[in-house]
Amino acid sequence: MAAAPAGRSGEVERSSSSPPAAAAAGPDTPAYRVSVIVTVLNDQRVGRTLRSLQRQTLAPLEVLVADGGSKDGTFEMAEQLAKEDPRIRPCRLPGNIPESRNQALALVRGDLVAFLDADEVAPPTWLAELLGPFSDDQVGFVGGPTPGMAGTLRSVGARYYDSYLRRFYDQVAKEHPHALPMGNSAWRRKVFQEVGPLDTTLFPRAASEDQDMALRTLQAGWKGVYEPKAWVEHDFSDIDLPGLLRKQATYATGGYVLWRRKGTTYEASTGRLFPYVLAPALVVVGLLLWGLGRHFSSLLMLGGEVMLLLGWWAFLLLFVYLMAQGIAWERTYPGARYRPLEILRRWSTLWGAFRGLVRYGWSGRKNLPASPKPPPPSSNT
């Protein structure tokens, strides 16, 4: 870890319950010059996102619509909104998410940069709450939660994902700010000038570039803050259980690449994954022993049957434990009653990581270009 510059530390910090007075400033007297970047690709829900930004009590200086190459009329819709509000700046910035964001960062004029995704909607006080912690000049970035939007939790997968995310923010993100996604976050622009742009050389489909950027920022000595009041609604209408599992596997492949390159993660660990590996491992060993026993020894067959039985009981105990846990959490995190789906989510994580191992090797660099080294830290006076 790099030494912290004078006057800053890399510690994790949570915001106080009362935001600084600056966060409550009205639209005519903004406390900060803030640019908002909204990434989009073929998603006309972005119109709803942009209208929510027009209603902010702390008005942004500008809203850049970073379009990665839409072909369904999304960009034209943003252009129409720009005619009504000159703060909206639609920009054709082709590439994946980190590539589009890097191009947008070169265009912004604000001292602070906030990020939203096209499937998120911000309440009127969102920007004020998100920017409050920046009254501390040691804070480099702030992020908030993304609970599911009412009326969009239409599938079991969406309801469980919403429950998982709510608990994730409460239990993980507030203690590990590098786990905060970039969609619903704000950053000092000078952070990017100091530690470099988003890394575009990680896994192309789900790069974990936001986690990488947060790690580099913390290592440079800045603070990261989780602000629970800076929430945005997340549209989960396009999420079902198969889609959730595919998404998890994709994220896990990107997470594997980052883990092998940087040696860090925020959720997966041997202890956390072991219960989900035990039952399948017992079943696999049992099948092998049973198959060998058919040809060589009845004793091996018996051993295989015992292992299969143990695997079944291990799975059943895990299922019952997760069911009881979910029922206990249901009042706090609605949707937790589907907690046994965590078995499938964890298996998807393992599959995605295995896919990353096969594709990118143990180093996480096979078939991918090397990560660029960030520039040396500059003065932040």
pLDDT recorded at residue 377:
42
CATH code for the structural domain at 30-146+181-236? 3.90.550.10
Under a CB-based contact definition with an 8 Å cutoff, are residues 194 and 360 in contact?
no
- Return the pLDDT at 205: 62
3-state secondary structure of 225: strand
* Pairwise CA distance, residues 323 & 261, whole Å: 36
Tokens of 330: 């249901």
> What confidence tens digit (pLDDT) does each residue in 104-126 have?
999 999 999 999 999 999 999 99
DSSP letter at 23 equals: G
Read off the pTM: 0.83
Please tell me the predicted confidence (pLDDT) of residue 11.
35
Residue 155 CA to residue 238 CA, distance in Å, equals 9
Spans of the chain below 50 pLDDT: 1-30, 374-381
Query: Amino acid letter at 256?
Result: Y
pLDDT digits (tens, 9 = 90+) for 324-354: 999 999 999 999 999 999 999 999 999 999 9
Rounded CA-CA distance 377/381 in Å is 12
Tell me the two tokens of residue 126.
């969102």
The per-residue pLDDT for 237 is: 94
| E strands in the chain | 12-14, 34-40, 62-67, 88-92, 112-117, 120-121, 139-143, 185-188, 223-226, 233-234
Domain residues of the chain, as ranges? Answer: 30-146+181-236, 270-360
The span from the CA of 367 to the CA of 48, in Å, is 39
H helices present in 198-297, as ranges: 209-219, 241-262, 270-295
Q: Which pLDDT belongs to residue 300?
A: 85
Burial of 243 (C-beta count, 10 Å sphere; 0-12/13-18/19+): middle
Q: Which residues, 6 or more positions from 95, have their beta carbon under 8 angstroms from its beta carbon? A: 68, 69, 103, 200
